[in-house]
Amino acid sequence: NAGVTQTPKFRVLKTGQSMTLLCAQDMNHEYMYWYRQDPGMGLRLIHYSVGEGTTAKGEVPDGYNVSRLKKQNFLLGLESAAPSQTSVYFCASRGSTGRTESNQPQHFGDGTRLSIL
């Protein structure tokens, strides 16, 4: 089972360039998330989605945009990359099954290591 797949796994950008990170899940999960992880900071939620066609801001949304046009895909865009966005980006998904929703864990992709020069 593929689970959650992130592409690309590594990328180096120059300041001001744009790019899109792709997350795909094959578990039919309703909820999807984008996090960034920096040394000593833990996981910080950038944006999330509770269903196809819906997105919302997390803790650190500035400089990022997202789209969820299809249930299985969640895209994270950087319109004008800045060195402060150098980080490891993780996508995650989570199921929604009514009464047991609160017990559902999140499943993570392998991460995308992004460096902005």
Partner 1 sequence: RKEVEQDPGPFNVPEGATVAFNCTYSNSASQSFFWYRQDCRKEPKLLMSVYSSGNEDGRFTAQLNRASQYISLLIRDSKLSDSATYLCVVNVRTGRRALTFGSGTRLQVQP
> Using CB under 8 A as the criterion, which residues of the chain lie in contact with partner 1 when the complex forms?
31, 33, 40-43, 45, 48, 50, 56, 58, 88, 90, 94, 96, 101-103, 105-111, 113
Nearer of residues 59 and 79 to partner 1, judged by Cβ: 59
Q: Kindly report the three-state secondary structure assignment for every residue of 86-114.
A: CEEEEEEEECCCHHHHHHCCCEECCCEEE
Nearer of residues 98 and 105 to partner 1, judged by Cβ: 105
CB of 43 to partner 1, least distance (A): 4
72, 114, 107: which is closest to 89 by C-alpha?
114
Nearer of residues 79 and 101 to partner 1, judged by Cβ: 101
Beta-bridge partners for 88: 37, 113
CB of 23 to partner 1, least distance (A): 12
CB of 48 to partner 1, least distance (A): 5
